[in-house]
Amino acid sequence: MLCSFYLLFISLLVHVCYSDIRYRKIKNLTTLILSLLALVGGWQYWGKIPILPVSMILVAGFLLSIRGYIGAGDVKLMAGLSLSLDADNILVFIFLTTLAGLPVALIMLLTSRVMRKPEHKTVPYGVAIVGGYLATVMFLKVTV
């Protein structure tokens, strides 16, 4: 049962990366399922839900999304994955996601230089969020 849980979770994270790279979209259903799985895993591991930090991510992300700085799917993904972490570890997640975003942004910059007319002018930040999340889980040795 636990193996199926992890397999589904990892499969959805891979799907998020593919979808964000290919279409620059992260579907609501995918983030909903990931959020529910993260909530269950976080509750089982930590015994509590980090409501305040997740709410702050949603509010700050919503404001950034309105201004066009980040996609709404990225915000929902980050908030959903944060449900599996302890409140103290969410800042580690945000920091590692920022670090993971640097190579993604550089790759996008280089590919836009090589391809004179890039298909997308945005950065698939869902890839960085997934990378930051996986780095956080490995760094903290957390099992979802």
Tens of pLDDT, residues 33-54: 999 999 999 999 889 999 999 9
**pTM for the full predicted model:** 0.91
Classify residue 56 as exposed, middle or buried by CB count within 10 Å of its CB (0-12, 13-18, 19+).
middle
Tens of pLDDT, residues 81-106: 999 999 989 999 999 999 999 999 89
d(C-alpha 71, C-alpha 107), whole Å? 19
